[in-house]
Chains A and B, each alone.
Chain A
Amino acid sequence: MSIKITTKNLNIPNYNRLSVYREHGGYEALKKALSMEPAAVTDEVKRSNLVGLGGAGFPAGVKWGFIPKDTPKAKYLVVNGDEGEPGTFKDRYLLEFAPHQLIEGMIICSYAVGIHKAYIYIRGEYIRQIKIVRRAVEEAQEAGLLGENILGSGFNLDIVVHQGAGAYICGEETGLIESLEGKKGFPRIKPPFFPAAIGLFGCPTVINNVETLSQVPHVIANGAEWFASIGTEKNGGTRVFAVSGHVRKPGICELPMGVPLRELIYEHCGGMRDDRPVKAVIPGGSSSPVLTADHLDTKMDFVGLRDAGSMGGSGAVVVMDDTTCMVDVCANIARFYAHESCGQCTPCREGTGWVSKILDRILAGNARPEDVDNAVRVAKNMMGRTICLLADGAAMPILSYLTKFRNEFDYHVEHKCCDVKGG
């Protein structure tokens, strides 16, 4: 089945302008939503099985339902457009080519939850996308789609576009909130700082990924049953895979939830470069444990990937053929986390740095036999003991390379060179 939802119209010229977006049915879902009871909108999203596409795959409607109904405090919507997970580049397309789709999703969400102020936090380097989203917000404002009394419904919403300050950790929801508040992006402790209870400025906050919210207008326009029927039992609809690595046609590729990995590579991404065999696949961004060629039949939804010992994550798929040195990949990933650990928690701050140095030494042919076990031990000692999930997100993939490709690490230690690349 080849069905596209959020990326369907990306090729239409000027789809990021309000008039073109409207010509193709834009903001009709909003009208429909505004004619519904807010609770009915949330219910529709719940029944659609739309899950969060930023990393954790948490059901979006359930998350909206966590926001207290009768709070004297303000409520906020925050859109996570930090897109920092290595390999991920889907939100960038959605922001650049379909900003009104996101805005429409945001208004619907805000209407459902009773929010009157929303923020879009966009990765600092996405300068072009930030400009485009800002222009789209202005267009929507001028057209009465934002501001007071939206489309005569009596509902008000303002949107602020915020340029991120440039750190991976500002993609973690509570780090993002700190950053949005003007502070250093130090994640908060959950509990008690669950955004739905104590979020932005201490108020109840919905935080969703760009892609998650971009799906919302389609759920409302076509109904929950339609959306749920597209994906798997628990994960409705489609998701946009950002495929890179040794495939013939890398790029974004929207497919139904649960598409088999093999189909993704061979049918939608043109197969492997030079027809070489698949050696390893990162299925959901660098934080997801690596899969081997044995896992090509894995269903690419959150459930299937969890059952395969990995995770759906951000939908970034990095495909590697047999010319790839796994020690190199692992050391590269470890370096990223050491660089991006915010440095609050002892195990993460020190563990990411230490394991990275050990792996770099193994890679450089400068290691002792016990270093491989020590890297395993250090990675394990970081897990489950920190404030946010960055530490686990670093340890899990590192452990997956160290265990699934142990022989390559041992070879590096013993021969002080690489058996894959030679030299």
Chain B
Amino acid sequence: MPTLTIDGIEVTVPDKTNLIEAAKMVGAEIPHYCYHPGLSVAGNCRMCLVEIEKAPKLAIGCFTPCQEGMVVHTSTEKVLQARKDVLEFLLINHPLDCPVCDQAGECWLQIYYMKHGQYESRMMEDKIKKHKKATAIGPTVTLDQERCILCARCVRFCDEISKTSELGIFNRGNHAELDVFPGKELNNKYSGNVVDICPVGALTDRDFRFQCRVWYLDTQDSICPGCSRGCNIQVHYNLDRPHHAEGRRVLRLKPRFNPEVNKYWICDEGRYGYKFIDDESRILMPQVMRNGGMEFVSWDEALKASAEKIKASIPEELGVLASPQLTNEELYLIRKLFVEELGATQVEFRVPPKEEGYSDDYLVKADKNPNTKGAEEIGLAVGSAEEILKAAAEKKLSALVIFVHNLVNSGLDDSLVKAALEGVETLIFIGSNFSDTSEKANVILPSATYAEKSGTFANSEGRVQRIHEAVPPLGESLPEWQILNELARALGLDWDYQGTEHIFAELAKDVPAFANLTYEILGDQGQTLGYVPPAEEEALVEHGELEAVRAT
């Protein structure tokens, strides 16, 4: 734990901390391009030069470990000049593409030039032409070699994180070019991350390119619903440019740092899996079967129709298929309403997938649901989907409520699903997008997607993490928790949940695994089930009981 002085401020840092990270701790920013905390150090951009007292030359902040007694200056005349000079070098062969470059607005050449550059141009020579401009190098990424500053972050990513090594730097000197190896394309499960870490517009996302200028984007923290890893993400959206991106509001997802879950990365499946949010298949209004056809109705009518059918069923005739795509708050309300209030026994959330999902030893999990763990803890695994459907097929159910699932495209037997969906008198579907299952419903209640509501998911390791509403629910759709609240009221219960935090507080009291958790404790990085507050933990350690508590 060396203690050193940076810009006059003394700071003690963990061993092996480099100067860039140490400077952050005292609020000083050392600009850099090639350094990325999730990758090995390359030390090539030379942007992070700082002055260390008694050292003969300026030193690079990325590769200089903090040492006891070091005195570091991050913005002396000498340092500022070196930065300016490096920026000048970086820009002499850089094309004047900003007006047509998709990176503009989030480009570190632009940002640092405004902060540290700003010089008179002295470059008279012709800029060097390179081979690939706006060239797709794989299904997800476009390369512009002239914009590349050869920081090699993307190369290191493919060597060290995706471990696929598609990228390399070819040729020498100022003819050096970033490219894919001959005969290869950049095509791996994590390829989109190279766009995030490319500090300039050399690598751009084919999916996002030219959909929206980044300064029109707003962001909201969320959790990827793509699998049970629960990678932390940011939803980038725009609400006032319906003429862009075919009217899509959510325009891209970006990874959000969480050292316990996904570090700096997300997989491509998760990154590009957001299209359903603004898709044409979204259900925009409640619908009810009347006179042999589905009709759009108001929420009041739809809820009334649903309540009547549910009331008419005795508990044994009521089937509920909840979903591990739902939040803990929603699953808790499902349990409370259907199991505790209505006494339903045919309740389940697990529906086997059609085929085993892809998984690897890094991030991606085979379970493609974000909240299986939460559903298990809340106790919704009561029967089995197959038994419920059998009961429906044998006409032993009068009403079946299905949340989100598309049974037709699942691992369940096709003929059983068909017989069940057709056999049950009342089929209430609650979900965000039309599917072969919603087709068969006689009541459809449109729900919000994860990007349109708040709540929590528990990932496969039991880490409970919050999602937040980025965009409002599309059309008349509502978050499931709100639908459940209204449905309970339509059933004559005096529910009045005002928001998900309210529900979560109740859940934390009721479900042991969630004990002690609050939204505040979850923060933006989440907290694991079985959480013990620090003060209590100390007491338990003293009595040697912590392990026992943890084990429960």
Contacts and interface: CB of A to CB of B under 8 A. Distances in A.
B534 interface: no
Contacts of A358: 124-125
Contacts of A374: 122
A346 B86 contact: yes
A384 B46 contact: no
Nearest to B84: A381
Contact of A385 (B49, B169, B174, B175): B49
B173 A349 contact: yes
B89 A342 contact: no
Majority SS at the chain A contact face: helix
B46 A353 contact: no
Contacts of A192: 63
Interface string B159-180: 0000000001101111110000
B176 A354 contact: no
Contact of A354 (B49, B82, B125, B149): B125
A347 B173 contact: no
B125 A346 contact: no
Nearest to B86: A346
B58 A341 contact: no
Nearest to A342: B172
A149 to B, nearest CB: 41
Interface string A158-192: 00000000010100000000000000100001001
Interface string B62-74: 0100000000000
Interface in B45-96: 45-47, 49, 57-58, 60, 63, 82, 85-86, 88-90, 92-93
A343 B89 contact: no
A167 B125 contact: no
A387 interface: yes
B43 interface: yes
Name which of B58, B92, B149, B173 has the most chain A CB atoms within 10 A of its CB. B173
Contacts of B122: 370, 374
A189 B173 contact: no
Given A341-B173, A349-B174, A350-B93, A385 B150 contact: no
Majority SS at the chain B contact face: loop
Contacts of A381: 85, 88-89
A339 B90 CA distance: 18
A341 B169 contact: no
Name which of B45, B90, B122 has the most chain A CB atoms within 10 A of its CB. B122
A350 B174 contact: yes
Contact of A342 (B128, B168, B173): B173
Contacts of B45: 345-346
A407 interface: no
A353 to B, nearest CB: 4
B172 A343 contact: yes
A361 B176 CA distance: 23
Contact of B172 (A167, A345, A370, A384): A167
Contacts of A346: 44-47, 86, 89-90, 149-150
B81 to A, nearest CB: 9
A341 B125 contact: no
A350 B90 contact: yes
A343 B176 contact: yes
Contact of A338 (B58, B150, B152, B174): B174
B1 interface: no
Contact of A341 (B43, B60, B92, B174): B174
Nearest to A384: B57
Nearest to B57: A384
B123 interface: yes
A352 interface: yes
Name which of B88, B89, B93 has the most chain A CB atoms within 10 A of its CB. B89
Contacts of B149: 346
A347 B63 contact: no
B119 to A, nearest CB: 11
Interface string A392-413: 0000000000000000000000
Nearest to A167: B172
Contacts of B82: 385
A328 interface: no
B150 A347 contact: no
Contacts of A141: none
Given A342-B173, A343-B173, A346-B47, A385 B123 contact: no
Contacts of A338: 173-174
Contacts of B88: 381
Nearest to B126: A357
Name which of B58, B123, B124, B171 has the most chain A CB atoms within 10 A of its CB. B124
A347 B42 CA distance: 15
Interface in B502-536: none
A344 interface: yes
Contacts of B150: 343-344, 346, 349
A374 to B, nearest CB: 6
A350 B47 CA distance: 14
Contact of A345 (B41, B44, B168): B44
B63 to A, nearest CB: 6
Contacts of B93: 350, 353
A347 B92 contact: no
A57 interface: no
A381 B49 CA distance: 13
A361 B45 CA distance: 28
Contacts of B46: 345-347, 385-386
Contacts of B85: 347, 381, 385
B173 A351 contact: no
A227 B43 CA distance: 41
A44 interface: no
A341 B172 CA distance: 6
A391 to B, nearest CB: 10
A357 to B, nearest CB: 4
Contacts of A370: 122
Contacts of B60: 189
A263 interface: no
A189 B89 contact: no
A148 interface: no
Contacts of B89: 346-347, 349-351, 354, 381
Contact of A344 (B41, B44, B58, B86): B44
Nearest to B172: A343
B66 to A, nearest CB: 14
B172 A387 contact: no
B126 to A, nearest CB: 8
Nearest to B44: A344
Contacts of B44: 344-346, 387
Interface in A176-234: 184, 189, 192
B77 to A, nearest CB: 15
A340 interface: yes
Nearest to B171: A343
A385 B58 contact: yes
Nearest to B173: A341
B440 to A, nearest CB: 60
A379 to B, nearest CB: 12
> Would you list the 4 A-B pairs with minimal beta carbon distance, nearest first?
A343-B176, A353-B174, A350-B89, A341-B173
22 contacts: A189-B60, A189-B63, A338-B174, A341-B174, A343-B171, A343-B173, A344-B152, A345-B46, A346-B45, A346-B90, A347-B46, A347-B85, A349-B173, A350-B89, A352-B173, A353-B173, A354-B89, A354-B125, A361-B124, A371-B124, A381-B85, A385-B49
Given A344-B42, A346-B47, A346-B150, 12 more contacts: A189-B60, A340-B172, A346-B44, A346-B86, A349-B174, A349-B176, A350-B93, A352-B173, A353-B128, A358-B124, A370-B122, A387-B43
